[in-house]
Amino acid sequence: MTTSQWLIIGFVGQALFGARFIIQWIVSEKKGESTIPLAFWYCSIGGAVVLLSYAIYKEDPVFIVGQSLGSIVYVRNLILIDRKRKSMVGAENEQLEN
C-alpha cells in the first residue's frame, strides 16, 4: 500500500473512533441522561482495530499499546453487556414459567 492509502486508513479509523462520541451524545440527548449505547462500543472496537493497523504500519509503539489495551476494554464491555442481557432474558422466562 502507498503512504496515501495508509493515511486514508488512519483518517477512517480516527473518524470511526470519533463517531462514538457523537453517537453517545445524540443518544444521551434523546434520553435526557448520560448513557453509553451499544453502538458506542462497536465504533470503539472498529476504530481501535483500524487505528491499530495504522499504528503497526507506522511502527509507533505508544500508539500500538494504547489501541491494543483499549480494544481489550471495549470487547470486555460488550461481553458484560451480553451477559447482563442474557441474565435478564433468563429471569423474564423464569417469571413467565411461574
Q: Kindly report, residue by residue over 34-83, the tens digit of the pLDDT.
A: 999 999 999 999 999 999 999 999 999 999 999 999 999 999 999 999 99
* pLDDT for residue 24 is more than 90: yes
> Into how many domains does the chain fold?
1
Between the alpha carbon of residue 26 and those of residues 2, 12, 30, 39, 81, the distances in Å are 36, 21, 6, 11, 20
Taking the model in full, what pTM does it have? 0.81
Going through 1-98 in order, the beta strands assigned E by DSSP cover none
Determine the pLDDT at residue 98. 65
Using the predicted structure, report yes or no on whether residue 28 has a pLDDT greater than 90. Answer: yes
Tell me the C-alpha distance between 22 and 63, whole Å: 23
